Every structure is written in structure tokens, then in C-alpha cells.
């Protein structure tokens, strides 16, 4: 079903995201909305945090949705702006891939900007989960990942190599593995079950993908659960390299050294205040508490919402859980 005429959208474009193609993408997709009779109010972000400020403060009355041209960082800002509004008003979000990391858009299978624009015009709206993280006495909202340990080490180093685009994560990860990984002691609690040990990393995932890496192949955006990938310390460099080669197709989770859990409430306490990687942003430290806000945000998607079951992996067994 196409959107009826006289629809109004606020479109936020990050001209500096990814390879700085945001304004070019706008010119590419503008005709699609013009043909559908949809009016766009275009706002170009001017500084880091501007998208968050717009999403938090803009009067949303009269708008049928918010379109974002950018990557994971811009989407992270939009999410945290919307969910900290004083009026608690939300609005459907349409995402056009324009960043160096487009994890959410890969999960939605809308990596082509034209396809993403058409999904908005066709008004396929679905509700997705939002992740609420409490860290350092404040609340941060996430749609993608919360990483701790090696995952954050890679993110910190990769910030200096942004000019390489998504490839920077691959290169830095390999360098880190070859130089040896750090053991971190922590207490991880998954829905009341405690795991205390030394870890290489823990990654909490709402999406299947992080960039091009299929980190959590069982993850669903709307099942009320988070997929937790755990790697305890002790795996050899050779083992880590073999896992890295399999991370792009998701088969790394089949290796016995990789533990895969699902949970809706998660906390982690480490022996020191370690930094976190939240949706690719280096923000917050341990300890942290996480809770899922099921189906708390509306987004435009190519598919109409439908019910299906998923296999939830939890240690040795699994259970079938309805998505809606």
C-alpha cells in the first residue's frame, strides 16, 4: 500500500557519514518521494550530536515519519534523541544507508538506498526492540550491539583508521589477535544465571550483523530477546584466527569455544571500569545493566509484519519462541 498524498516527512542527512555521500544520496532518492507526492523537510546535520539534538527537540506534530540518511552512528543519535524526549513522543523511522557501518540496514536487507526509499513510500512499518543500557548512572539506548573486552579494544584502535571505512575493523581485529588478547575477569548475569570467569570478550546483540560480520546469526529484531556471544579467555591465536575467518558467514558460533545465549535482562561487572562499544560508539563503562524494551520503535521495512517462530539457543538446548 502506497502512502497517500500530502504526507510530510522530516529528513535528516549526515553529510559527513561514511564516504561523505549523504547529499548525493539525497539527490538520488528525492525523485522517489516527489513522484509519490511526499513532502520532505530536509535538515543537514552540522556537528557531532546534531542528529540527537534534532530528534530530541523537534516538534513532531504534522510529520508522518522521520527519514535518516546516515550510518549506525547517526541512527544511534536519532534513537537516543527520540527516547529522551520530554513529551515521550515517537515517530516511524526510515533509514537510508549512508554510513561506513550500516548494521541495521543489512538486517533489514535494504542496503540499496533506492530500495530503502521505496520501502518508506510503500509504508511497510514494523515494530522493533530497543535495548536500554544503564551505565555510569545514565541510560543509553541501542539498536545494534553492546561490546566489552576485545570488541571495545578494536573499536578504540579503529577510530584512528576511519579513513579505511569498514575494512578498518577487519585489519585492527587481525592485529589485535596476532599480538595477543587480554584476559578480563568479570561476572556476567543472564536472566539471573551467573557466569564468573576470565573472558576475551562478551558481545550483546540485537542485530545479526555488525558491519559485514554476521556476529549473531540467530538474532531477531523483534523477539524481545538479546543474543549474547561469549568467548572465555584461553583460546589460542590460531583458534581465534580460524574463528575470525568464519565470522562473516556466522559459522563461528558452531565452534565449541564460542558460547551463545539469549536473555532479556543482562548485567556485567568487571574488576575495573572497562569501556564499552555501544552501536559502534565508545561510550560508558562497566558495570552495566541491560534490559530489552520489546517492540518499542516503529521502522519502515520492506516486509509486512508476520508471525514466525525462532530457535532460541541457550547453552545446551533451545526453545521455540513466537515473534509476534
What residues act catalytically?
72
DSSP letters, 37-74, are T-EEEEEE--STTHHHHHHHHS--TT-SEEEEEE-HHH
Please give the Cα distance from 9 to 25 (Å, whole number): 16
Please give the Cα distance from 102 to 160 (Å, whole number): 19
For residue 13, how far is the Cα from the chain centroid?
18
| Distance between start and end Cα atoms, the chain | 21
Please give the Cα distance from 102 to 169 (Å, whole number): 13
Bridge partners of 142, per DSSP, are: 131
Taking a C-beta distance cutoff of 8 angstroms, is the pair 259, 231 a contact?
Answer: yes
**Residue appearing with cell numbers 580460524:** 242
For residue 95, count other CB atoms closer than 10 A to its CB.
29
Amino acid at each position: 500500500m502506497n502512502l497517500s498524498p500530502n504526507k510530510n516527512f522530516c529528513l535528516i542527512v549526515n553529510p559527513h557519514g561514511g564516504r561523505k555521500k549523504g547529499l548525493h544520496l539525497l539527490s538520488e532518492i528525492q525523485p522517489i518521494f516527489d513522484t509519490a507526492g511526499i513532502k520532505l523537510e530536509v535538515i543537514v546535520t552540522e556537528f557531532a550530536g546534531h542528529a540527537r539534538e534534532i530528534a530530541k527537540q523537534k516538534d513532531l506534530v504534522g510529520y508522518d515519519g522521520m527519514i535518516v540518511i546516515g550510518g549506525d552512528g547517526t541512527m544511534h543519535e536519532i534513537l537516543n534523541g527520540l527516547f529522551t524526549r520530554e513529551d515521550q513522543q515517537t515517530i516511524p523511522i526510515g533509514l537510508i544507508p549512508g554510513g561506513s557501518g550500516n548494521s541495521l540496514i543489512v538486517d533489514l536487507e535494504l542496503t540499496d538506498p533506492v530500495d530503502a526509499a521505496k520501502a518508506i513510500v510503500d509504508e511497510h512499518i514494523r515494530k522493533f526492540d530497543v535495548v536500554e543500557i544503564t551505565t555510569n548512572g545514565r541510560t543509553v539506548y541501542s539498536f545494534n550491539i553492546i561490546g566489552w573486552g576485545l570488541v571495545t579494544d578494536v573499536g578504540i584502535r579503529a577510530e584512528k583508521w576511519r579513513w579505511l571505512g569498514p575494512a578498518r575493523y577487519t585489519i585492527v581485529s587481525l592485529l589485535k589477535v596476532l599480538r595477543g588478547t587480554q584476559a578480563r575477569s568479570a561476572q556476567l548475569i543472564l536472566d539471573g544465571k551467573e557466569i564468573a570467569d576470565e573472558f576475551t570478550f562478551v558481545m550483546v546483540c540485537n542485530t545479526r550483523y555488525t558491519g559485514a560480520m554476521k556476529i549473531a546469526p540467530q538474532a531477531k529484531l523483534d523477539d524481545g530477546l538479546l543474543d549474547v556471544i561469549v568467548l572465555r579467555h584461553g583460546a589460542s591465536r590460531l583458534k581465534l584466527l580460524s574463528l575470525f575467518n568464519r565470522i562473516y558467514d556466522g559459522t563461528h558460533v558452531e565452534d565449541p569455544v564460542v558460547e551463545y545465549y539469549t536473555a532479556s535482562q543482562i548485567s556485567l561487572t568487571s574488576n575495573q571500569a572497562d569501556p564499552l562499544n555501544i552501536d559502534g560508539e565508545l561510550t560508558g563503562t562497566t558495570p552495566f545493566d541491560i534490559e530489552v524494551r520489546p517492540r518499542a520503535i516503529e521502522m519502515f521495512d520492506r516486509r509486512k509484519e508476520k508471525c514466525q517462530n525462532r530457535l532460541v539457543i541457550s547453552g545446551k538446548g533451545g526453545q521455540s519462541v513466537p515473534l509476534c
